[in-house]
Amino acid sequence: MTIYLDNSATTPMCKPAVDEMYKMMTDRFGNPSSRHEAGLSAHTAMKNARNKVAKAVGCLPEELYFSPSGTCANNTAIFGAVRLMRRHGNRIITTSLEHPSVNEPLKYLESSGFEIIRLPADASGKISLSALRSALNANTILVTMMLVNNEIGVINPIADASQLIHQSGSRALIHCDAVQGFGKLSVKPAKLGVDLLTVSAHKIHGPKGAGALYVRKGLHLPAYIMGGGQENGLFSGTEATPAIAGFGAAAAALPDLTTQMNQMQAIRAHLLSRLSVSKHIVINSPADALPYIVNLSVPGIPSEVMINYLSDQGIYVSAGSACKRGHRSDVLSAIGMDAKRIDSAVRISFSRFTTTEDVDGFADCLLEGIPRFLR
């Protein structure tokens, strides 16, 4: 038995992406910057992929720039925005629940003299719009907020936050890390009201090694990766054309969002129903979280113990962000959770390929394991 329930860390590749990558690696392997036929063929494949990903994001192809990863795109968005706006101020507003690819650049900027305001979250992980309003001032140059938290699945009100920022008269740029929301929720930048938005291939059954950054048309974001000027200078370096083509194929293969959401809500409800028989299980994700993510704790059983036990049974889950391996969750700490729950937290994350049978296999194994370790 193998049951994979760690899709927030990465997803298995879908067949269209695998097939497209194989074609690129064997038949269309040229450098897309080369002017001969092999290069032009690769360049055409990249153009097709850009059109597919842009359609899935909901933006113009010329607003979409391929990057080596979501992390690289987040870094470029933050450092580029700061370089562009630093003459107007030094305040950056974010939340206390961001991914390390946002947190770490902000820590660096903070050590360099920028003022970082981290909006607190309540016990369910929600950010107060009134706190955002209070934090905005004339020196604010950037607001960066994730769409969906990768550990507990809370959904941030990006469109409402953007409207508030615009109505305040602030000139701040707005960046959204939409990596966990892309392919699950509508991420159309115009509707969200953002200037910059990050997505990644390997969260939507595409390959690792390809991300993308939306940059609003007319916004000239400075690059911080210098070199040959690929991606209109924003991400220099020879493009990973197989990964990019796979990204395009995965984006084109995304199913209808509403149908998929209904499927995931049913899967989540089934899991919670199965687990409700145990008084030892505490659900850490809010009730209105993205249904793809369920964070739970069995206080008294360390995460590592439970994850290793499940793994021995062929069931794969995680303790939280794969980027914080071996460290206590900053997200669960930020929402005021006690240490016993944090240290026993387990994240289950679904994909459109998750079945009821997968959920039953996990629930059976978890329920059987609890009395084994709680003595």
Handedness of CA 215, 219, 220, 224 (dihedral sign): negative
- Strand 140-146 vs strand 173-177: parallel, antiparallel, or unpaired? parallel
Judged by DSSP in three states, 237 sits in coil
Is the Cβ–Cβ distance between 268 and 296 less than 8 Å? Answer: no
CA distance linking residue 24 with residue 330, whole number of Å: 40
Residue 365: active-site member: no
Give the rounded distance of the alpha carbon of 75 from its chain centre. Answer: 14
Is the Cβ–Cβ distance between 70 and 225 less than 8 Å? Answer: no
CA distance linking residue 197 with residue 174, whole number of Å: 9
CA distance linking residue 339 with residue 313, whole number of Å: 27
CA distance linking residue 128 with residue 114, whole number of Å: 23
- Strand 315-316 vs strand 3-4: parallel, antiparallel, or unpaired? parallel
Across the chain, the runs of DSSP E, i.e. the strands, are: 3-4, 64-67, 91-95, 115-119, 140-146, 173-177, 196-200, 211-215, 282-283, 293-297, 315-316, 345-349
Is the Cβ–Cβ distance between 235 and 65 less than 8 Å? Answer: yes
Judged by DSSP in three states, 197 sits in strand
Residue 120 CB contacts under 8 Å (≥ 6 apart), including other chains: 96, 127, 128, 131, 334
* Tokens linked to 148: 């969906």
* Catalytic residue chosen out of the listed positions 59, 72, 323, 365: 323
State the catalytic residues: 323
